[in-house]
Homo-oligomer: A and B are copies of this chain.
Amino acid sequence: MNLLYDEKLDGPLPPVDRTALIEELQQTLPDMTLLHEREDLQPFECDGLAAYRILPMLVVIPDTVDQVQAFMKICHQRKVPVVARGAGTGLSGGALPLEGGVLLVLARLKTILEINPEGRFARVQPGVRNLAISEAAAPYQLYYAPDPSSQIACSIGGNVAENAGGVHCLKYGLTVHNLLKLEIITVEGERMTLGSDALDSAGFDLMALFTGSEGMLGIVVEVTVKLLPRPQVAKVLMASFDDVGKAGKAVGDIISAGIIPGGLEMMDSLAIQAAEDFIHAGYPVDAKAILLCELDGVEADVNDECERVRAVLENSGATAISLAKDDAERALFWAGRKNAFPAVGRISPDYYCMDGTIPRRELPRVLQGIADLSVEYDLRVANVFHAGDGNMHPLILFDANKPGELERAEAIGGKILELCVAVGGSITGEHGVGREKINQMCSQFNDDELLTFFAVKAAFDPDGLLNPGKNIPTLNRCAEFGAMHIHNGKLPFPELERF
């Protein structure tokens, strides 16, 4: 395997002649917005993970795909590193700028090029907001299924880069399952099509490889997404539990009963109380956990499934079960869930949102593990998450102004992710690795696996110019981090013995 590439990526970024680059960009692309004054660069120094801030060398904001292509050719020739950014809502620092690189903002490429009801697809530019696709498809009774909580703001290009999920991905899949085709600009500035309008494409599945690659393989300039028929009806059940583990087990029981809910979400008591104080959603504030289970489809089917889910919940020890009586109450139940993060923000000066994924059956064990770690590190942890697909979002509450709390928050966060890996899970479900979790990648993957990632990266970007320092750690970094490799839980993980 290519150890040389690892060393290359680990070295300093190539020096860039900033003045000459600005001059060439202004001459070659006079119509493209180019920001280079400090005060203009400031708004772009971070993405949704505001804990990391770096001022980019330059920001460019193209209006056309041709500009993106010409820009990439110039950067390739000059060996300038490029970080692509959509709406900047990402939570893992994937669009964190580089001091010595250009931030390529794709937000103005926001045209919906085609809504095709017969082919059931939409063809859009990368800066189109996730929700705008469903709005444009609504007249045809169609919608785009993946729905990250940020869907009102986040853009589809970023969704592709992070393989975004959402409440409905349990039933309808992640971004990668809802794509047909991508148009990309390579690091050399060539345009290329990945995937096809048809069911399958010949050759290797580069579209799937590209999805979730966090801007490391090329720049997305057009996305063809699948559209689904809107379900006729949706109903939501709320179940209360006096024990978190019981709620976790109920999740597995629902799935085992042969039901795939449209959404199956869990909140623990800290999250319930914070959300209820904020939204007044009608949550039971004395419950240790609640489950929200949405069922969607045609009416008869949904009614039947509601009864079956109710029976499962009763058997699993739910202390109360209520069905939202109408669409208004259903919206209220969901408003509590969707505003749980800001609600937690009201009860703590700072919080740190994790994003680990585990096999569903491990929910009770991992929830207990998190509770134990919370005691050990003396920090409160609220749990609000996509329980149905085992995608956890523990929120670690801390106060950055109290000495040592930030460090303890980071430490417990790392421990929680290692716990996820140890039970056979992954350090990210839908937020990506970015800069935030790059050290935890050393826990999840061994050297051979990391070298395979780099060999694939080198196939697209041999000079390592695209989003360097994100997503895949170099072996040197892992050696420095000193991670114990706990690949899929098959190697010993002493922490686990406690759980």
Binding site for B on A (CB under 8 A): 2, 116-120, 141-142, 163, 165, 169, 173-174, 176-177, 186, 190, 192-193, 196-206, 208-209, 211-213, 217, 229-230, 252, 255-256, 258-260, 297-298, 300-301, 304-305, 357-361, 389-391, 420, 424-430, 433, 437, 441, 444-445, 448-449, 452-453, 455-460, 471-472, 487-488
Contacts and interface: CB of A to CB of B under 8 A. Distances in A.
A427 B198 CA distance: 10
A213 B198 CA distance: 18
B118 A198 contact: no
B425 A196 contact: yes
Contact of A360 (B119, B165, B359, B445): B119
Given A204-B209, A260-B229, A426-B202, A359 B252 contact: no
A275 to B, nearest CB: 24
Contact of A298 (B176, B300, B357, B437): B300
Contacts of A200: 163, 165, 174, 212, 357, 391, 426, 428-430
A438 to B, nearest CB: 10
Contact of A459 (B298, B425, B459): B459
25 contacts: A116-B361, A117-B256, A177-B177, A186-B448, A193-B488, A197-B359, A198-B359, A199-B357, A199-B391, A199-B426, A200-B428, A200-B429, A202-B428, A204-B213, A204-B453, A204-B472, A206-B456, A208-B209, A209-B456, A229-B258, A229-B259, A229-B260, A298-B301, A300-B304, A455-B459
A424 B193 CA distance: 11
A193 B456 CA distance: 16
Contacts of A2: 459
A173 B455 CA distance: 29
Contacts of A186: 448, 452
B389 A199 contact: yes
B199 A429 contact: yes
